[in-house]
Amino acid sequence: MKIGVFICHCGENIGRTVDCARVSKAAGFFPGVVHSVDYKYMCSDPGQNLIKQAIKDFKLDGVVVGSCSPHMHEKTFRKAVADAGVNPFLCEIANLREHVSWVHEDIDVATDKAIDLIRFAVEKVKRNTPLTTIKVPVTKRTLVIGGGISGIQAALDVANAGYEVVLVEKEPSIGGHMSQLSETFPTLDCSQCILTPRMVEVYQHPKIKLLTYSEVEKVEGFIGNFKVTIRKKARYVDDTKCTGCGDCMQKCPIKKKALSEFDEQLTTRSAIYVPFPQAVPNIPVIDTSVCTYFKTGKCSMCKKVCGRDAIFFEQEDQMLTEEIGAIIMATGYKLYTIDKKPEDSEIKGYGEYGYGKYKDVIDGLQFERIASASGPTSGEFMRPSDGKTPKKIVFIQCVGSRDESKGFSYCSKICCMYTAKHAMLYKHKVHDGEAYVFYMDIRSGGKMYEEFVRRAIEEDGVKYIRGRVSRIYEEDGKYIVKGEDTLAGVPITIDADMVVLATAMVAQPDASKLAQTVGIPYDKYGYFVEVHPKLRPVESSSGGIFLAGACHSPRDIPDSVAMASAAAAKAMVLFGSDMLEREPTIALVNENLCAGCFYCKKVCAYNAIEIKQIKDKQGNLIKEVAFVNSGLCQGCGTCNATCPSKSIELIGYTDEQIYAEISALM
């Protein structure tokens, strides 16, 4: 091998503490090095030309550049080498700036170190093999999981850019929690008014395939090439025939047995139902757990009244397979339910608030339904127990959030704002009512957020008390709330008509299961985890899978929407090219040596190792060996270090190369 060594002065950045001339002179004597020079700016055009020219003149087939960190200019030099006709992976960088000249002061010592580093690189490059970047085709279709505001936004963004989208929602309608909200902070926009046009847009978009009442069952493949299996649950209604007239729901004799999910259990619904009038698609579903037909076979009232003959009791779950290039997770959140003692032993629950014993102790989403014009009370403030107008409401924040001893350690982020909004909405309608808010801290970071909270306190007269509530109990139709005002240092007792608990936002109960299905990491709470908290906040560590909204962490609508658009943009970046280029630094199996112990398979974090059967000509099995799926392998090399027979090797970092580097120390 003929190796050329090129030492960059980086202006004076390297040259000041490293005697570059001495380095290049010393390198010239290394075995295999046929050419060695130093130059002021190797990364500049003339510098690169110097390398290209030397490759031609000296017929170099290996290049070592002593310059800045490879994270800086490795790509530049690899490209220059490739331009001159040498495989780019036969170019190695020795880091003489960040690791030598900038961190040491003595010229002699620094120069010695620089020479050592060049020697390492020369020994390594000798053992490099020409590689080509791996190219994989990209399926330009996106799967969005979750049809809340995050999923809707992501789907619309990707679809509007001209790429196909499959939107999967497990509930009968898209819309998510945002469709349940009354008004949104800090502008008090009507939530449904701004959301429903978006829902309709999704439904009508030619590029969006909407699959409601469906769940993702299986995800196979890798970035750009996923194969996703989706279960389309049986609605027992033929969606091609149904017009959404609602006659079936009117006539359904079951009216009281099922609690409305949309109204957060405050009202009941029929067995055949759409979750709410603005549902998209406006096609009902039969709840088989309460439907008389499915329980006894006796009733088929809905079938009789349906003018379109759309009721189809024999319908079964359907399995669909979709070819997908990118996946956007937008599965959202749930509110922590205090109405029962949690079975999860880590969370102790809030027995002091009654575990749902008191009808008028409700959570934030229930309050949203009461405050909503489309809700069970048409926006009139009435308490669930007796329909009376509550004259005194106590709001308790951080129920389950920021509570290491009984709940979750994290802050749910949205509660400070929505509690201020709740109190404000209440005061706007019940002028003589009193609203008390028990808080720990008011966290109102965000545009116009602090102003909004101040408005609730100063203009609307909401009384904020800094402290926790220790007990709630019922006495003579009032709810006695015992708490502490920690600023005044006194215990406080309020006889409230109604209590609203700002319970913690939690990940969907099946989020961890879905994460395992899809193959992305999740934290101890069940929230999905990003690659880098600062610089790659919407990407999961699995290539081609992006995160949007509250499935990642508690966040409000604008944050969710922004994250959804960012995830959409990331998906579109992927679709910008027809083929994906990947570093060829992946593991490779020597099938002759491999004994088939599959320790490599056990340690692989990417499921990139498969079992390959080797057969003779007659088709008899000779042995089973490991096989690396180059699309999945990320090149960490854990398998290489684990392999007892060293029959799996990480290209570019083989044992031979590393031993050569170690030996170069002498």
- Binding residues vs another protein (CB under 8 A): 69-71, 95, 97-100, 102-106, 109-110, 112-113, 116-117, 120, 341, 348-352, 354-355, 357, 473-475, 480, 521, 541, 585, 603, 605-606, 634-638, 640-642, 650, 653, 655, 658-659, 661-663, 665-666
Strands 268-269 vs 478-485: parallel, antiparallel or unpaired: unpaired
List phi, psi (to 5°) of 113: -65, -40
Nearer CB in complex with another protein: 203/599: 599
Strands 478-485 vs 469-475: parallel, antiparallel or unpaired: antiparallel
Nearer CB in complex with another protein: 487/662: 662
Q: If you count them, how many residues does the chain have?
A: 666
C-alpha to C-alpha distances, 140 to 85, 210, 231, nearest whole angstrom:
33, 17, 22
Nearer CB in complex with another protein: 147/483: 483
Q: How far is the CB of 523 from another protein (least distance, A)?
A: 9
Q: How far is the CB of 475 from another protein (least distance, A)?
A: 7
Nearer CB in complex with another protein: 95/153: 95
Contacts 24+ apart (CB under 8 A), 261-267: 261/171, 262/179, 262/180, 262/369, 263/369, 263/375, 263/376, 264/180, 264/363, 264/365, 264/366, 264/368, 264/369, 265/366, 266/366, 266/369, 266/370, 266/375, 266/376, 266/384, 267/376
Nearer CB in complex with another protein: 230/636: 636
**DSSP character string of 88-112:** GGGEEEEE-IIIIITT---HHHHHH
Nearer CB in complex with another protein: 408/575: 408
Q: How far is the CB of 353 from another protein (least distance, A)?
A: 8
Give strand pairing partners of 439: 466
Nearer CB in complex with another protein: 37/643: 643
Nearer CB in complex with another protein: 288/663: 663
Rounded CA-CA distance 109/403 in Å is 55
Nearer CB in complex with another protein: 168/586: 586
Assigned token pair, 358: 């008191």
Assigned token pair, 7: 């030492």
Q: How far is the CB of 110 from another protein (least distance, A)?
A: 6
Tell me 340's DSSP state.
Answer: S
Rounded CA-CA distance 364/379 in Å is 15
Q: How far is the CB of 250 from another protein (least distance, A)?
A: 40
For the chain, counts of helices (H) and of strands (E)? 17, 36
Q: How far is the CB of 606 from another protein (least distance, A)?
A: 8
Q: How far is the CB of 473 from another protein (least distance, A)?
A: 4
Assigned token pair, 601: 């398979």
Nearer CB in complex with another protein: 119/421: 119
Q: How far is the CB of 64 from another protein (least distance, A)?
A: 14
Q: How far is the CB of 263 from another protein (least distance, A)?
A: 26
CA-wise closest residue to 113 among 95, 89, 91? 95
Nearer CB in complex with another protein: 389/629: 629
**DSSP character string of 208-264:** EEEE-SEEEEEEEEETTEEEEEEEE---SB-TTT-----HHHHH-S--SSEE-TTTT
Q: How far is the CB of 609 from another protein (least distance, A)?
A: 14
Instruction: Name the 3-class secondary structure at 655.
Output: helix
C-alpha to C-alpha distances, 3 to 37, 122, 151, 562, 566, nearest whole angstrom:
12, 8, 53, 50, 45
Instruction: Name the 3-class secondary structure at 602.
Output: helix
Which helix (H) or strand (E) covers residue 81, if one does?
helix 70-83
Nearer CB in complex with another protein: 105/344: 105
Q: How far is the CB of 495 from another protein (least distance, A)?
A: 13
C-alpha to C-alpha distances, 18 to 9, 32, 38, 337, nearest whole angstrom:
8, 23, 11, 65
Quickly tell me which residue has 């590029």 as its tokens.
207
Q: How far is the CB of 105 from another protein (least distance, A)?
A: 6
Give strand pairing partners of 345: none
